[in-house]
Amino acid sequence: MASYIFLHAMGSKQMVIQLFMSHTKLDKNFCDRFDIMAARVGVKVFRSEFEKIKSPAWRTIKKAMDASSAMFLLVGKELVKAQEASDEDPKAREEWKHTQNWIAYEIGLACERGIDVWVWCDGVTINFPVPYLNNYVLHGVGSVMRSVIELYSEGESVPLGVWGREVRCAYKRCKATYGLHSKVAIDGEVTCPTCLKTYTFPEGHLLHWKKTE
Ligand SMILES: [Zn+2]
């Protein structure tokens, strides 16, 4: 029995927690900050530009998602710009289609596995629709990001319904539901990442929250 416990403890000690980063490498600063916070708490981040992606790419990505505890779609200003540029410029459109296809594939994999899917915006308004997510952050790379990454390092997750922060998109044809981990002022507006429509919070959201975002 004692040896079994010993082996078990060894096994769990060796297990590295990994988070999957979905992003554009052009948002370097934002992605680096996420990476640094994860490294501080001993969590590995799968970030495609730093990994060897063997062909076919879908298989490498799937394996990485299978080994991850959550997926984080990091929406920085370059990701938003890429979508905007694709309206005008054919070359940018092709690149953006490629990026967007991979994001959609990654969200599908994460949803299928039942792991948390975070849409984490760096103070920008998301401008492309995300079919599924269960956690949403409008801005903030401060203590909120750190405490979320720490949770995963402890083997926890953030399913819908915890902490009483979930909101539901006000549009009947959408009704997407997600935990919203950002303050919203009274009568403040939020863009729904699933339908991209804006809806209002007459009573605000997390107004008494003291975390620095
Ligand atoms: Zn919506």
C-beta pairs of 128-133 under 8 Å, 24+ apart in sequence = 128/83, 128/100, 128/196, 129/193, 129/194, 129/195, 129/196, 130/73, 130/103, 130/193, 130/194, 131/104, 131/107, 131/194, 132/107, 132/108, 132/194, 133/73, 133/107, 133/176, 133/178, 133/193, 133/194
CA of 148 to the centre of ligand 1 (A): 24
pLDDT recorded at residue 212: 61
CA of 197 to the centre of ligand 1 (A): 6
pLDDT recorded at residue 54: 84
User: Residue type for 118, please?
Assistant: W
pLDDT recorded at residue 5: 38
- Confidence tier at 161 by pLDDT (50, 70, 90): confident
Which range has highest mean pLDDT (89-93, 134-138, 143-147)? 134-138
CA of 171 to the centre of ligand 1 (A): 6
Tell me which of 50-64, 170-184, 186-200 is least confident. Answer: 50-64
CA of 56 to the centre of ligand 1 (A): 34
- Confidence tier at 129 by pLDDT (50, 70, 90): very high
Average pLDDT over residues 118-124: 96
Residue pair 152/70 in contact (Cβ under 8 Å)? The answer is yes
CATH number of 16-201: 3.40.50
> Beta-strand (E) ranges in 30-122?
44-47, 70-75, 116-121
- Confidence tier at 110 by pLDDT (50, 70, 90): very high
State pTM to two decimals: 0.90
CA of 199 to the centre of ligand 1 (A): 8
Pairing of strands 18-22, 44-47: parallel
CA of 111 to the centre of ligand 1 (A): 18
pLDDT recorded at residue 9: 43
Q: What is the DSSP letter of 205?
A: B
Domain boundaries defined on the chain: 16-201
CA of 1 to the centre of ligand 1 (A): 53
Which residues lie closer than 8 Å to 17 by C-beta, 6 or more apart? 42, 43, 44, 69, 152, 153, 155
- Tell me the per-residue pLDDT of 50-105, one tens digit each, with 9 for 90 and over: 788 888 999 999 999 999 999 999 999 999 999 999 988 998 889 899 999 999 99
Residues 206, 183: Cα–Cα separation, whole Å: 5
Residues 114, 110: Cα–Cα separation, whole Å: 6
CA–CA distance from 107 to each of 10, 134, 175 (Å)? 32, 11, 18
pLDDT recorded at residue 49: 78
pLDDT recorded at residue 109: 97
Q: Is 27 helix (H, G, I), strand (E, B) or coil?
A: coil
Q: Which of 45, 53, 49, 43 minimizes the C-alpha distance to 25?
A: 49
Residues 54, 60: Cα–Cα separation, whole Å: 6
Average pLDDT over residues 121-136: 96
CA 40 to chain centre: 19
